[in-house]
Copies of this chain bind each other. A is one copy, B any other.
Amino acid sequence: MAETWATLGVDLHLEPARSGGLRRGLTDALRDAVRTGRLAPGTRLPSSRTLAADLGIARNTVADAYADLVAEGWLTARQGSGTRVAARAVIPPAGAALHRGEPRRPAYNLIPGTPDVAAFPRAEWLKAARRALTAAPSDALDYGDPRGRPELRTALAGYLSRSRGVRADPDAIVVCAGFSHGLRILGTVLRARGVRTVAVESYGLDVHWQLLTDAGLTTCPLPYDELGTDTREPAPAGAVLLTPAHQFPTGVALHPDRRAAVVDWARRTGGLVLEDDYDGEFRYDRQPVGALQGLDPDHVVYLGTASKSLAPGLRLAWMVVPPALTAQVAAAKGGVDTCGVLDQLTLAEFLASGAYDRHVRSSRLRYRRRRDALVAELARRAPSVHATGIAAGLHVVLRLSPGTEQAALRAAAWHGLAVHGLHRYRHPESTAERRDALVVGYGTPPDHAWSGALDALCAALPE
């Protein structure tokens, strides 16, 4: 898919990247154009609206790519003068080899959001697939219940109750193709029920806010203070999207008072809490806090996923929906988006046979070791940088001195490291204090690359 970038007279080889889609693809293509000198320093770029129209893609995609490259230091954005190629795009750190004309891919990926897919339990999964497909009735292969296969819903109900304290009836579980798919369905249902505004956390994922916006909803950020997200008064919102077990990305657990407050609010107003339990399996210092849903299954939708515990490529996630909403959620999902039954049957067997628990246990141990090594290495080599958040999940937030986030991102890029700054996760309307930090995903590198990645990270950080 080569696109001619007529607006600038530059040929842009635009291809959706392996991970991250068009946004990442466009970011890569633009970065390469700057790196190789095809876009000279000082060049003014077309507006995001113009370039989006030219490429036939969404304006947000272009705006996001520009923002990424501004954050990385390749572009500058100033009120009144638009977006330009940085005068001297990047100052290479002493000793870094710079081969002009040879675009450089990051050697290490510490962007949060994906587990170590190299550790996917292929042999165990194939065994489960064989058992599941051999045992399945023929009609499992037909068009099915929009909620998903009953075998999987039954297995999930048992697992979620046992491991996360979720009160789950198989009839109230709806299988979906990833968290985002579930959120899109819930957005449609909320809008149909007359909800206009969804309260979200001050820090989170813009793709989630965008999904809600696409469903016709407005997102408004909740305050964020020293106790974390302030859930005491989400009005005028009709629903709240939260990551109670492990706030993404700041890494704190929702304060007990705030857990109680949001459930009180939901009961008092008939509001709905959407609980994004994306990495609830991974807590390293104690037993995980149980799901919020356990406090009030009538007012909380629990959302879990196999994307962190197994692999994003499975495209399998699940919602536990209040009984009063189940029919409407199933209808909104419809027959259109039903997930493939073979993976559903396999995951059901994987759960029932105990293979899922075994895999989670061994993953927990490995990720915990990585986190411990990271914290220890930072203390030794970059003592001014503090790892914050609870010992959980697949990422850690490294607090930096005020005003140093962009410099740290540039340094990371020059050490071949893909990593994100905290600013990109801040809701545009948040009033929370701005903090400079790196959000480091330690789950992603395969085992053989982990120590190299950690070394590059420490080298990029201020001492």
Contacts and interface: CB of A to CB of B under 8 A. Distances in A.
Interface of A: 1, 3, 14, 16-22, 55-58, 61, 113-114, 117-118, 120, 122, 125-126, 129-130, 133-134, 138-147, 171-172, 177-178, 180-181, 184, 207, 211, 311-316, 323-328, 330-331, 334-343, 446
Nearest to A58: B331
A337 B142 contact: no
A330 B16 contact: yes
Contact of A177 (B145, B330, B337): B337
A446 B336 contact: no
A117 B141 contact: yes
Contacts of A338: 177-178, 315
Contacts of A323: 1
A164 to B, nearest CB: 23
B61 A335 contact: no
A335 B17 CA distance: 11
A120 to B, nearest CB: 5
Given A18-B139, A19-B142, A313-B341, A336 B211 contact: yes
Nearest to A183: B336
Nearest to A324: B56
B337 A340 contact: no
A118 B139 CA distance: 8
A370 B334 CA distance: 32
Contact of A343 (B138, B140, B328, B340): B340
A57 to B, nearest CB: 5
Nearest to A207: B335
18 contacts: A18-B139, A19-B142, A20-B143, A21-B143, A22-B330, A56-B327, A57-B331, A117-B141, A120-B138, A122-B133, A143-B312, A177-B338, A177-B340, A178-B335, A181-B337, A207-B335, A313-B341, A342-B343
Nearest to A19: B143
A141 B311 contact: yes
A126 B342 CA distance: 10
B327 A55 contact: yes
Nearest to A120: B141
A289 to B, nearest CB: 27
A328 B142 CA distance: 31
Contacts of A140: 313
List the number of copies, as a whole number. 2
Contacts of A207: 335
Nearest to A126: B130
Given A122-B134, A138-B118, A327-B57, A16 B145 contact: yes
Contacts of A446: 138
Highest count of chain B CB atoms <10 Å: which of A122, A177, A336? A336
A308 to B, nearest CB: 12
A175 to B, nearest CB: 11
A184 B142 contact: no
Nearest to A343: B340
A126 B133 contact: yes
Contacts of A335: 20-21, 178, 180, 207
A171 B281 CA distance: 38
A330 B312 CA distance: 18
Given A117-B141, A134-B122, A180 B327 contact: no
A327 to B, nearest CB: 5
A407 B178 CA distance: 46
Given A20-B335, A125-B133, A129-B129, 13 more contacts: A1-B172, A1-B330, A3-B327, A16-B147, A21-B331, A56-B327, A117-B139, A141-B312, A177-B177, A177-B336, A211-B336, A313-B340, A315-B340
Given A177-B337, A178-B338, A180-B336, A142 B312 contact: yes
Highest count of chain B CB atoms <10 Å: which of A17, A146, A341? A341
Nearest to A211: B336
Contacts of A120: 138, 141
A207 B146 CA distance: 15
A205 to B, nearest CB: 11
